């Protein structure tokens, strides 16, 4: 076995990802199966010793199961016991507090070594700063839950699983400053310096390139980065560490400094970079992998990149198995694997060009374009399943956007960093150099933003991805790849290459299937918002959004809106906004621009009072009839006591109670329907034609006698407090 550590890393990752969704019993069962496989390998008559991969896989499974059980008992379970509790909390502020709309957010590390992400009002002059020791009385602690009302353990990937809120954070004293404090303080100082010399949003993008993060970047630019497949530039990963180390090595080579001394400086830089970026999983992965390569001259070994990747993954998962939940870790791991597999063909490309092209500048330019395209394709193919599963979109223009934007973005990052360094030297000549460097950085960032926005204006630059079809493609591709590998081992040397191509084809075919006009894509999603309902109607790639918000920030609604450029928001209808809040009026056009906008006279008056502009050509009306994609007809009716919507699809008729003081018994034109959705109110009777009745309300409805009577008489009654957001096919 050529690469045992790669086998170990892949095994640990797969086993950990598999066991995260199962109980402790499943982990123990996997542990026993791994031990049994190892014992069977040692039994001589079974003749399994020739399969050396068996002990590698077995030991890796045993190690990750042991690590998972230990981590759960020592880290996770004590934190879960604090869920839904109120307590006095004190500890050290270990992240720079950020003020968001008057609310201060920071991470607190308690004396018990538990990290809590806090949000408290910033209502006094003594707001806590980094390394303040603070106390919070009557802090409400909770662990996030997913749509199935289960604990959402994704936060365990960075050790911050618990969240909390409080009325005030009282500063008790300032903790002793450590090297970690000075690294974070250095990051804050650099960020402020960049803000002083560069306008927004260029400064926000430069800071995102250097330290990671998208805070302060306008929505349209962030969407351009995402749709163009270059959002990884704003998530510090192996790309950043390799580019920085490459720059350091280049400078030291020009100065003819010995290799061992050069590597020591790179190691010191990587250690400081990990601290400044907050030890994010992707930076840890890339830094440790670079560390293996940089220390090879001292150990006199010839490192293998794939084996080094497996070693680093194994080590990180042993320390924290929940790293498999980290999106940045998944993307970094997949991208690195793709780049390493593709980069082995770089020399073949240059050898071919050397024979075909004699003019050196042309050869270098063509080689750069081809190799950049291959590396971008390799990284894109391997990260595509992870991106598609998390963002529900697939970028078709990613190779082109990466080819045009990655290098200019890197040069902008260098200019911004050098400009920040020279800005501390108060000399006229250096001052001019500083301004020049920041001007170059601004020009390059402008080019990157304009290029990504222009490229993603193409209608099919991103396409929607359905998880079901993508998983089908990955499963089918896995089977094809396994069969190809077996044929490759037994008979044909070309079987592996052919099966790899067929696997890619199978995955891509399943990605593009949702673009076909299939009826299952006509859906209605009802999202609870306080005492009211928001409704998202989807037909093919067309959407209609009925805003009926009762809370100021119903952010979960935006998860259902169009994200791919080939999708469109046809109708945006605002029927109700509580307490005069115009957040949905202001926010939605920044997320996705609707084709036609409708609202009520009352909301128009609220917008006039709040100095909020409605989109041009907004139609003012209380009710109306609409057709979506020539397939779904829906009608909004206002009886001045209730507002409701009637949706008629190809197969079903749906009645949705939006808000008001009465139920459908006082509505007009509510004949027999298939699905009735009531909002925080119970009907006196149910239509005999109803297939399902959905009630939007809190858990207190379970104790309601009318609800209990209806649930006994009619089985298909769902409660959104238990079922979550409701999605139905029409």
Summarised one tens digit per residue, pLDDT across range 206-247 is 888 887 777 778 877 888 888 887 877 777 666 677 777 777
What pLDDT score does 207 carry? 86
Give which of 88, 127, 95 is closest to 109, Cα–Cα.
95
Give which of 542, 708, 519 is closest to 627, Cα–Cα.
542
Tokens of 583: 């957040």
Give which of 482, 518, 520 is closest to 499, Cα–Cα.
482
Evaluate whether 273 touches 241 at the Cβ level (below 8 Å). yes
Q: What is the mean pLDDT of residues 422-433?
A: 86
What pLDDT score does 589 carry? 61
CA torsion, ordered 254, 257, 259, 264, to nearest 10 deg: -110
Phi (first) and psi of residue 51, to 5 degrees:
-95, 80
Q: Is the pLDDT of residue 199 over 90?
A: no
What pLDDT score does 443 carry? 93
Distance CA 730, CA 727 (A): 10
Q: CATH class for domain 519-729?
A: alpha beta
CA torsion, ordered 285, 289, 295, 296, to nearest 10 deg: 160
Tokens of 265: 């400086």
Q: Which CATH superfamily is domain 85-176 in?
A: Nucleic acid-binding proteins (2.40.50.140)
Q: Is the pLDDT of residue 520 over 60?
A: no
H/E element holding 548? strand 542-549
Summarised one tens digit per residue, pLDDT across range 480-502 is 877 887 777 777 667 777 887 88
What pLDDT score does 237 carry? 67
Q: What is the mean pLDDT of residues 368-381?
A: 74
Phi (first) and psi of residue 516, to 5 degrees:
-75, 150
Summarised one tens digit per residue, pLDDT across range 656-674 is 887 766 666 666 665 667 7
Summarised one tens digit per residue, pLDDT across range 323-365 is 888 877 787 778 778 777 777 777 777 777 777 777 777 777 7
Cβ atoms within 10 A of the Cβ of 619, count? 10
Compute the half-sphere exposure of residue 576: CA atoms within 13 Å on the CB side of its CA.
Answer: 22
What pLDDT score does 447 carry? 93
What pLDDT score does 552 carry? 47
What pLDDT score does 153 carry? 77
Distance CA 671, CA 694 (A): 17
What pLDDT score does 554 carry? 46
Residue 519: pLDDT band (50, 70, 90) is very low
pTM of this prediction exceeds 0.85: no
Q: Is the pLDDT of residue 456 over 80?
A: yes
Q: Is the pLDDT of residue 29 over 50?
A: yes
For 57-123, give the DSSP string. HHHHHHHHHHHHHHHIIIIIHHHHTTTTEEEEEEEEE-S--EEETTEEEEEEEETTS-EEEEEEE--
What pLDDT score does 515 carry? 65
What pLDDT score does 444 carry? 92
For the chain, helix (H) and strand (E) counts, in that order, are 23, 23
Give which of 565, 384, 377 is closest to 458, Cα–Cα.
565
Q: What is the DSSP letter of 618?
A: -
Peptide bond before residue 201 is cis, with ω within 30 degrees of 0: yes
Distance CA 482, CA 495 (A): 10
- For 16, 151, 600, the CA distances from 356, given in Å and listed in that order, are 48, 59, 69
């Amino acid at each position: 076995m050529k690469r045992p550590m790669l086998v170990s890393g892949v095994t640990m990752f797969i086993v950990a990802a598999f066991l995260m969704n199962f109980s402790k019993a499943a982990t123990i069962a996997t542990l026993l199966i791994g031990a049994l496989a190892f014992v069977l390998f040692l039994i001589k008559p079974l003749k399994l010793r020739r399969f050396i991969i068996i002990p590698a896989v077995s030991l890796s499974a045993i190690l990750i199961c042991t690590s998972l059980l230990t981590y759960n008992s020592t880290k996770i379970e004590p934190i879960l016991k604090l869920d839904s509790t109120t307590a006095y909390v004190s500890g050290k502020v270990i992240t720079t507090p950020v003020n968001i709309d008057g609310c201060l957010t920071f991470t607190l590390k308690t004396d018990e070594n538990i990290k809590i992400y806090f949000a408290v009002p910033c209502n006094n002059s003594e707001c806590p700063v980094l390394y303040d020791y603070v106390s919070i009385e009557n802090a409400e602690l909770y662990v996030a839950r997913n749509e199935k009302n289960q604990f959402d353990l994704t936060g365990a990937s960075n050790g911050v699983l618990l969240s909390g809120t409080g009325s005030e954070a009282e500063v008790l004293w300032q903790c002793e400053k450590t090297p970690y404090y000075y690294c974070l303080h250095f990051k804050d100082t650099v960020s402020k310096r960049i803000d002083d010399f560069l306008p927004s949003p260029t400064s926000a993008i430069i800071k995102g390139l250097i330290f990671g993060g998208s805070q302060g970047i306008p929505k349209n630019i962030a969407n351009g980065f995402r749709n163009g497949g270059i959002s990884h530039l704003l998530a510090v990963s192996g790309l950043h560490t390799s580019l920085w180390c490459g720059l350091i090595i280049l400078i030291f080579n020009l100065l003819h400094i010995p290799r061992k001394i050069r590597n020591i400086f790179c190691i010191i830089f990587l250690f400081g970079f990990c601290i400044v970026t907050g030890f994010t999983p992707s930076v840890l992965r890339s830094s440790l992998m670079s560390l293996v390569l940089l220390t090879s001259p001292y150990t006199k070994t010839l490192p293998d990149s794939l084996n080094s990747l497996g070693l680093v993954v194994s080590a990180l998962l042993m320390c924290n198995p929940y790293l498999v939940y980290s999106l940045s870790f998944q993307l970094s791991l997949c991208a690195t694997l793709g780049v390493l597999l593709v980069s082995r063909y770089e020399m073949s490309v240059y050898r071919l060009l050397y024979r075909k092209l004699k003019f050196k500048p042309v050869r270098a330019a063509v080689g750069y374009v081809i190799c950049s395209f291959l590396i971008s394709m390799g990284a894109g193919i391997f990260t595509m399943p992870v991106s598609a599963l998390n963002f529900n979109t697939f970028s078709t223009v990613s190779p082109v956007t990466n080819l045009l934007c990655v290098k200019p973005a890197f040069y902008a990052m260098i200019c911004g960093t050098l400009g920040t360094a020279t800005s501390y030297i108060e000399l006229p000549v250096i001052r001019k150099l500083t301004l020049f460097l920041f001007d170059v950085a601004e020009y390059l960032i402008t080019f990157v933003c304009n290029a990504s926005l222009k490229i993603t204006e193409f209608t099919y630059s991103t396409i929607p991805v359905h998880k079901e079809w993508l998983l089908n493609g990955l499963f089918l591709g896995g089977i094809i790849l396994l069969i190809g590998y077996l044929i490759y081992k037994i008979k044909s040397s070309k079987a592996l290459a052919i099966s790899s191509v067929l696997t890619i084809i199978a995955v891509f075919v399943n990605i593009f299937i949702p673009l076909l006009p299939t009826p299952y894509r006509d859906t209605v999603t009802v999202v609870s918002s306080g005492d009211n309902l928001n409704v998202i109607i989807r037909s093919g790639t067309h959407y209609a959004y009925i805003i009926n918000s009762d809370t100021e920030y119903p952010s979960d609604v935006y998860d259902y809106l169009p994200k791919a450029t080939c999708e469109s928001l046809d109708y945006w209808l605002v029927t109700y906004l509580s307490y005069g809040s115009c957040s949905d009026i202001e926010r939605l056009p920044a997320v996705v621009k609707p084709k036609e906008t409708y609202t009520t006279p009352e909301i128009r008056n609220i917008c006039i009072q709040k100095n909020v502009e409605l989109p041009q050509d907004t139609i003012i009306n209380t009710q109306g009839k609409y057709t979506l994609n020539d397939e779904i007809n829906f009608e909004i009716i206002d009886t001045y006591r209730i507002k409701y919507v009637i949706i008629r699809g190809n197969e079903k008729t749906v009645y949705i109670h939006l808000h008001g003081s009465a139920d459908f018994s006082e509505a007009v034109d509510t004949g027999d329907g298939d699905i009735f959705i009531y909002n925080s109110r119970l009907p006196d009777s149910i239509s005999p034609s109803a297939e399902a009745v959905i009630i939007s309300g809190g858990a207190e409805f379970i104790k309601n006698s009318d609800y209990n009577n209806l649930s006994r008489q009619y089985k298909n009654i769902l409660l959104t407090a238990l079922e979550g957001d409701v999605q139905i096919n029409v």
